[in-house]
Each structure stands twice: as structure tokens, then as C-alpha cells.
Amino acid sequence: MELNSFIFPAPSPSYTVISFPGELLKIPRLKGKRQGVPCIFLPFSRGSSKILLYFHGNAEDLGLAYEMLNHTRNTLMVHVLALEYPGYGIYKGKPSASRILEDSENVFNYLTDVLKISPTNIFIFGRSIGAGPAVWLGAEKNPGALLLMSAYTSIRAVAKNIAGSLLMYFVKERFRNIDLMPKVKCPCFLVHGQNDTLIPYQHSQILHELCGGPSNLLLPSKMDHNGFDFFEDLTLPFTAFLIHCGISTVPDNLQSAFISFPEELFYSKRS
């Protein structure tokens, strides 16, 4: 199967279309007739020059990611847009790598082509399974920065760690981040816990070494795959990395400080 459920299990939906009024919306298709992509949009109230596009982890949906998204918004002082995956949350369908990549490109292009946001003002953040679409966008779109948490070299390499060398071949190979990292030229920050038993931290070490742009790697000794400190393991070191790279989230002017989506895209406005 595309995304093997014993590696990346989809949880029972933690939210509904009315759970996040004014924040849950559907990004329309720019091409094709498929349904739009459910997303959560958390604008930074004081305005920001940057928007962070988030791809959540395994055994998680947008509802379960909300606490971290809110923390990331307020600590990094950025707008946040988080995508749902087919088969997760309120998004009907079955998860597949091709669908997730198609959705990620559609949402990125909506930001740049419709809302006229420069790619340099878009941060990409991928956690666990979300590292797949995040690295792909980082290689293809050259965003302002790439943030990876608990990333992997490929899906099959993760399967090998869990199921062994023989059973790994029952998992279809997808998301070969190991091939794409040399094409990533934007600043890239990787964080991976040394106690991660699902995806060993050596995966991030390899990706860090292969990155084609400025890159930094943090390996917290007490962090595992799901347990980490929001400040110490994520937002504070990423902020320091952005400062080192000369990247600011402060808007140049009020006109560029705020992002708005058409009201009809929000579920609460349509119901």
C-alpha cells in the first residue's frame, strides 16, 4: 500500500467542520475537479512578513496539531497555514504520496499565484511523515526556509527500521528525501530526538549532510518521536537559525503584514 498504516496510522478524526470557526477553510483547486484541500489558517494578530506552511506528523490530524500550530504562530511571529491529508480529519479519501504532493503544490501555488505571496516569504515545516511533501516543496519551489522535525531518508528506510530488511519490501517506496535534499538550496533547519525509536536520528544526519543550502542540525538527547519541548527543541533554536541566516519575520509595511482568504472558503462561513 502507498502509506503503510502500521508505520503512519491515521487517527480517528479529532475535529469536525465546526470545530475551528473562522480558521478552518478549504483551499480550492487551481487545476482539476477534485475537492479542495482542508486547511487551518492561524494569522499572527500583529502582522508578519512570513507564512509557515505546515505538514503534520503520523498519528496526527489538524485538530491534534492545533496546540503546536498556535505555539509556533505566536513564538515565531508568523502566519500559519496547515494542510490536512486525504483520509485524515475531515478530508475524505485515501492517503497516498501522489495525492499529498499534488495537494501541497496546489496550496503553495495558491499562496504565490492567487494571494501573490513571494516564495521567499513562505516557510515550509514538515514533521515526521510531513517531511516528505516539505522536502519536495523545498526542492521544487525554493521557499524562504525549510524546517524538518523527525525527518526520514525514505518511507522504505523507515519500514526497514520497524519491520526489518525482508518485510520492508512490502512497503511501496515513496518520499525519497535522500534524493531531493541536494536540490534544497534554501536555509534548512533539522531537529531530531536521539530517543526516537520510530525514525532513528541518523536519518536527519544524512539529510543534513546532503542539503544543498545552508543547514543546521539539532539532536536533543531527551527528545523522542512524539515527546519534545516546544520552546527548547523547536521554536527557540529555529528562531536563532533564522537570525543567523539574516531572515526576519517583521513586515516591511502594514500592507504586506496581513493575509486574508475569501470568506466563502471558510467552513463556518459556508454553513
Q: Which residues touch 186 (CB under 8 Å, ≥6 apart)?
A: 138, 142, 143, 144, 145, 146, 213
Residue 126, CB half-sphere, CA atoms under 13 Å: how many?
Answer: 25
Q: How far apart are CA 188 and CA 215, in angstroms?
A: 5
Instruction: Give residue 162's pLDDT.
Output: 63
pLDDT at 123 over 70: yes
CA 198, 67, 101 angle in degrees (round to 5)? 60
Reported as a single tens digit per residue, the pLDDT across 167-224 is: 555 556 678 999 999 999 999 999 999 999 999 999 999 999 999 999 999 999 999 9
Task: For residues 262 and 113, give the distance between their C-alpha atoms in angstroms, rounded to a whole number.
Answer: 15
Tell me the domains of the chain and their CATH numbers. Answer: 24-247 (3.40.50.1820)
Using CA atoms, how far apart are residues 204 and 191, in angstroms rounded to an integer? Answer: 8
Predicted pLDDT at 270: 52
Sorted by sequence, the CB contacts under 8 Å of residue 189 that are 6+ apart come out as 145, 146, 147, 148, 215, 216, 218, 237, 238, 241
For the stretch 31-56, pLDDT in tens is: 877 889 999 999 999 999 999 999 99
| Averaged confidence pLDDT in the chain | 91
pLDDT, average across residues 228-241: 96
Rounded distance, CA 271 to CA 269, Å?
Answer: 6
Is-contact 76 39, C-beta < 8 A?
Answer: no
Q: Higher confidence at residue 158 or residue 6? A: 158
Q: Report which of residues 183 and 58 the model is more confident about.
A: 183
The helix or strand, by DSSP H or E, that contains position 123, with its residue range, turns out to be strand 122-127
pLDDT at 2 over 50: no
Is pLDDT above 60 for 4? no
What is the pLDDT, as a whole number, of residue 159? 77
Residues 253, 270: Cα–Cα separation, whole Å? 32
